[in-house]
Structure 1
Amino acid sequence: MRSGVRELFRQAQQNILYLNKQRILAMEELDRVKREKRSLLDRIEQLERIKLMYTRKRCDKFSLSAELLLRIDSMVLTNLIGSKEASEFRRLVMDSIGSIADYFSEIMHKQDTEILVELRHFPRKSRKSGYHIIHICTEMAPVVSVGSLAPYVTGLSRALQRKGNLVEVILPKYASLNLNEVHGLREVEAEFHSYFNGQLHGNRIWTGVVCGIGVTFIEPLYYSTFFSCENIYGYSHDFERFTYFSRASLDYIVKAGKQPDVLHIHNWETSIVGPLFWDVFVNQGFGGTRIMLTCQSFESQCVEQPEKLALCGLDPYGLHCSDRLQDNNKSHLVNVLKAGVVYSNNVIIMSSMQTKGQIIHATSHGLEPTLTIHKDKLVVAPPGFDSSAWDPSVDKFLPQNYSADNMKGKSVCQVSLQQHLGLQEKVSIILVGCIFSDISDIELENLKTLIWMASRRGVQFVFMGSDQTPGLNSALEYFEELKDENMRFLNKYDESLAHLVLAGSDIMLCPSFDDTLLQIPLKAMRYGAMPILLDFTDSKYGHFVDRDLEDTEFSRYIKDTFSNMPLNQAIDELKNNPSKWDKKIVDAMTKDFSWDAECCDIHISAYTAIKNL
């Protein structure tokens, strides 16, 4: 009996030992698997870092350089470095934009103190030509877009950087910002105060990179409601809101130790920077800085009581005179846009088709006397478009890509558009597209007649607007009886479909060739669609004979090629003389009217001119 118990005990011990051994082996195996998994994850992470670094090195050198510049600003605000050393570092970044991005790509996650050490040891190179430009503005695509200012600021800034200039943007920190489009958004942990209404007020400073451009966002603390509004414009205290921002921007530039070549201001909203700069700030390290104003139009000017100028530190009595800020029509008020014109070294007016003389005498909205006096510093520039996003040879929204050298894909796009909209699918059918942001200037009865006549010839029409387009709903009701198998009205703007409309259309009807918002005429030419003007109203400046022959290259090309061709004539040419049509289309597709071309060149020439003053 005892021997049996001992045997059972011995077997139990052996089993326990065996199980322990198996458990140890299993734990060792588990540890081995964990080590392998950890090693594999480390390797994956390493490869991801290499991939990210490689991608950033190749494709995002501007973003890395912009991020580094913003870190330099942070070093100044936190008193790590002084203004002089900061200026040297900014010039270093500007002169070494490619190599410095490679060098710093792996350490941008480190603290400012560690980055500072590396900056001080980075080898200096010979100075390159190029300007340091700071935009003080109220819009920038795609973070905050209302009108034509937003794509202009982003498109021009990117083009300027590609040509060796250093560009920064300062914006209000609106509550409605699209922060998903801001890379590396961070709050600068430093106190910053700006002057307004007799006192210094605190602000939060945020920095980030948008489309490769370094952006600083200013957030007021005491006046926190200024930019927490639902809309960007249209409030009774807009003067106070944007005057606060303009003054805060200049205070920030001084605090950060920046010494830009050009302060570029925009429309009336930041025009007050002009007199502020020359009357208050010019002696604070800005001896080499000049002021550039861009006006998208002169329609919105902002007139106010003179005493309100004191809010930002200006002298109301010294400025309320005819050669300064006094409004030309309401002499008891001051005109903020006039301030920008008078106090800027150069004024760029964005227009595709108008000459300087036409703008001064026909579309200046009461500023004609001021613009006439300052005519020599006015420059007209056409808007551009983003040729990387709007290029049929690489467009990801198209079923088949094409180019001027190989147009086969355009027929595929036309059939795809017809299929998508339920139109008859046939390449031989002429398809006319129209994408518009405003129809207020279109004579609907004449347009209705034109559409009816063309549709009787078998022409297909696709109209695209948006629910924000003024007068769209009433226009849709007006055209209700025209709806048939050849007509489609889309009351919602769809970005991907807009690409297909351009690619699938033979002709694009344009309410105006001066399209600074959507740039449809420019995009139409790039996509092989002939831009034809919907010109049913008298020209705003048709009565004015301009002896100023300073047309832009774009204006001359449009006038020589497309401007005198009505829709019926274009349809006839497409049907009866396709070889002539194809030659025009291919020629138009090869023209470069992007931001990098004429628009950017005109701006660089203007910067050069004012720097030489």
Structure 2
Amino acid sequence: MYIVQIASECAPVIKAGGLGDVVYGLSRELEARGNTVEIILPKYDCMRYDHIWGLHEAYRDLWVPWYDAAVHCSVYCGWVHGRLCFFIEPHDNDNFFNRGCYYGCSDDNMRFAFFSKAALEFLLQSNKRPDILHCHDWQTGLVPVMLFEMYKHHGMANQRVCYTIHNFKHQGMGGVETLQATGLNQEAYYFQYDRLQDNFNPFALNFMKGGITYSNFVTTVSPHHAWEARFTDTGYGLGHTLHAFQDKFRGVLNGIDYNVWNPEVDRYIPHYFNQENLEGKAENKKALRDRLLLRHENKPIICYIGRLDDQKGVHLVHHATYHALYRDAQFVLLGSATEASINSHFQHEKRFLNDNPDVHLELGFNEELSHLIYAGADMIVVPSNYEPCGLTQMIGLKYGTVPIVRSVGGLVNTVFDRDFDQDHLPEQRNGYVFHQSDFPALESAMDRAIDLWHQEPKEFQNLIQQGMSYDYSWNYPGKDYIEIYDYIRHKE
């Protein structure tokens, strides 16, 4: 098949979160399965140009209809670690992608409405006719709308769209100006509940709803999160729309890249190890203590790696720090806050705990250090309020770092409680799970893990090895997406 991914991110050249990792990892898996894959991205001024090989102008005069005129664009082409990527650069006074940032501008809705229009115009004018367009999140929600309402009448009637939602919280809103700019125009037609009208604001168009309504198939990034989006407030108001299109909606678990996250080949860790030989993990634990100036004592290291914000259960992250110390464990945190108040709170904690030899708070993000923490820690806490898929628990499993997670989203699909899981045999269980978002629930799960580490070290090692045996690579998700693509290609 010929597949084109249209997205606002692709790691490592453009990465603000997990979306970039998914676009890159899935594309590589699809290519490994014999498909042709291309990726269309905005050409941001702040992206990592050092990760692009052979960047050159591939299409010089792309004129994208916009309002009552057209915007002149150049399309650049280059290879990002083996993936063929096209970067769209508009030449006009709006400077949509020359802002020094990927997101966070007051006109983000118009920036990505333009990108969606430009991506389709590029496919049309360059005579590219992929079998599948795979679009991601609200930024490309208008692609299936414009394909169905406009571009199918200009020679693109055979293209099918798979639309993946990574985070329901951000949906993309627009108004009449979006219709005027893109050429969709017909206000009365699109401001209808069964098309683009937001489910709760009759004066707004919802880009993500448009993606759901007009695409041939919709996925989100884990089976349990697909259920949550339909039946809980995690869908952020789109539950009814998802229910209406339930026949074309399912969850497909994300994968992780075992070329990057693999203790047998990881270039960022000093000692390699695997499921059969865990000696290297013990050596990495010593190296982690040396790096972070933690004392060398017979106690477990519990870690947290990720953003510090409400989604990630930041109140529980804070509590886990002190409960670990209370239980005579060590705690390592690596994360950056998304709000000033949270950042100042953790800066205060860092100063307060600075001289404690059993804790280290690293505020910010350090890719190299994250690998060493995964390799050296004994347990990782993931206490999220909601977690569409979650990558940290899957990486933790690969590195023999036992996950302690809350039972939400993709965490439910990947971590199975050692003591209480009824759906898996004892030899299939791989971590600890708690359900409520309060302190006693977190403490209970942490206590069970710490007690096993101290009292039954052989059983703890068995748990590590059971976790390391799981395959959360792109192998299975790649197979799932191929099946979805085949289904929508042949469905009338």
User: Shared topology, TM-score over 0.5?
Assistant: yes
Q: Which secondary structure state, in structure 2, belongs to the residue aligned with residue 177 of structure 1?
A: coil
Counterparts of 2:416 and 2:359 in 1: how far apart (Å)?
33
Equivalent residue number for residue 414 of structure 2: 554
- Within-5 A mapping of 1:208-357: 208-223=78-93, 225-314=95-184, 315-351=186-222, 354-357=224-227
Q: Tell me the CA shift for residue 482 of structure 1.
A: 4.8
Q: For residue 239 of structure 2, what is the aligned residue in structure 1?
A: 368
Closer, same or farther: CA 600–552 of 1 in aligned 2, 3 Å: farther
Aligned match of 1:133:
3
- Quickly say closer, same or farther: Cα 1:189–1:164, change in 2 above 3 A: closer
Aligned in 2, Cα 1:448/1:263: closer, same or farther, shift over 3 Å?
A: closer
227 and 287 in structure 1: CA distance in 2 versus 1, 3 angstrom threshold = same
2-structure distance, mates of 1:240, 1:453? 46
Q: How far does residue 189 in structure 1 lie from its aligned partner after superposition?
A: 6.0
In structure 2, give the amino acid aligned to 1:329. F
Deviations 1:558-590 (A, max 9, x none): 965324360111011111122222112112112
Moved more, 327-336 or 385-394: 327-336
Which residue pairs with 2:394 in the alignment? 522
Q: 1:502 is matched with which residue: 371, 374, 381?
A: 374
Residue 610, structure 1, aligned to residue 488, structure 2 = yes
Does residue 1:532 correspond to 2:383, yes or no? Answer: no
The alignment covers a number of residue pairs equal to 468
Equivalent position amino acid for 2:433 in 1:
N
* Residues 330-362 of structure 1: CA deviation (Å, up to 9, x unaligned): 1122211111110001111123x7243321121
Q: Tell me which residue corresponds to 2:454.
A: 575
Give the Å deviation of 1:529.
Answer: 0.8
Call closer, same or farther: CA 1:496–1:313 in 2, change over 3 Å.
same
Contact in 2 for aligned 1:347/1:377 (Cα 8 Å): yes
Matched letter for residue 473 of structure 1:
S
Distance 2:174 2:7 in 1: 20
Question: 1:333, 1:474 → 2: CA distance?
Answer: 36
Query: What percent of counterpart residues are identical?
Result: 28
My pick for the range that moved more, 287-296 or 517-526, is 517-526
Cα separation, 2, equivalents of 1:206 and 1:584: 49
Two-structure CA RMSD over aligned residues (Å): 2.6
Partner secondary structure for residue 208 of structure 1:
strand
- Which of 149, 154, 165 is the aligned partner of 2:19? 149
Question: Which protein is richer in strand relative to its size?
Answer: 2
Letter in 2 for 1:528: G
Q: Which residue identity is paired with 1:603?
A: Y
Change over 3 Å in CA distance of 1:275–1:445 after alignment to 2: closer
The alpha-carbon deviation at position 393 of structure 1 amounts to 0.9
- 1:142/1:178 contact within 8 Å kept: yes
The answer (yes or no) to whether the contact 1:143–1:182 under 8 Å persists in 2 is yes
Q: Distance in 1 between matches of 2:116 and 2:467?
A: 41
Structure of greater Rg? 1
Gaps of 5+ in 1: 1-130, 542-549
- Give the residue type in structure 2 aligned to 1:494: N
Following superposition, the deviation at residue 480 of structure 1 comes to 5.1
TM-aligned CA deviation for residue 463 of structure 1: 1.2
Given that 2:312 and 2:384 are in contact with CA atoms closer than 8 Å, whether structure 1 keeps it comes out as no
**2:441 maps to what in 1?**
none
TM-score normalised according to structure 2 size: 0.88
TM-fit CA distance, 1:440: 2.6
Letter in 2 for 1:169: I
Separation in structure 1 between the aligned mates of residue 383 and residue 198 of structure 2, nearest angstrom: 32
Q: Secondary structure at the match of 2:84?
A: strand
Corresponding residue for residue 365 of structure 2: 493
Give the match for residue 433 of structure 2.
564
Point out the more displaced range, 514-523 or 564-573. 514-523
Deviations 1:527-575 (Å, cap 9, x if unpaired)? 1110112x5xxx789xxxxxxxx99853668965324360111011111
Answer yes or no: is 1:171 the counterpart of 2:41.
yes
